[in-house]
Amino acid sequence: MEDLIKALQIFLKYGNPYAPFHCEHDYLYVDIDPEIVSDEDKKELDKLGFHEDEEYGGEGFGSYRFGSC
């Protein structure tokens, strides 16, 4: 759970949307624009289990690690 909390703290630096999550088919989608996230934070998010989303059009981040629904 610690990795999820760390990832959420990084995402919070780039916005605080009302409903930023979508979960489907064991995939957690986070609606934070990758274009505004620093390369350093992207590397850290990758270590924590989140990657730039390609499955839903590349407009956010996704995780199979935390996406069980």
Q: What is this structure's pTM?
A: 0.88
Q: What CA–CA distance (Å, rounded) separates 15 from 21?
A: 13
pLDDT of residue 12: 97
pLDDT of residue 32: 95
Q: What CA–CA distance (Å, rounded) separates 21 from 17?
A: 9
Q: pLDDT of 12-41, one tens digit each?
A: 999 999 999 988 888 899 999 999 999 999
pLDDT of residue 45: 98
The structure tokens listed for 25 are 């088919």
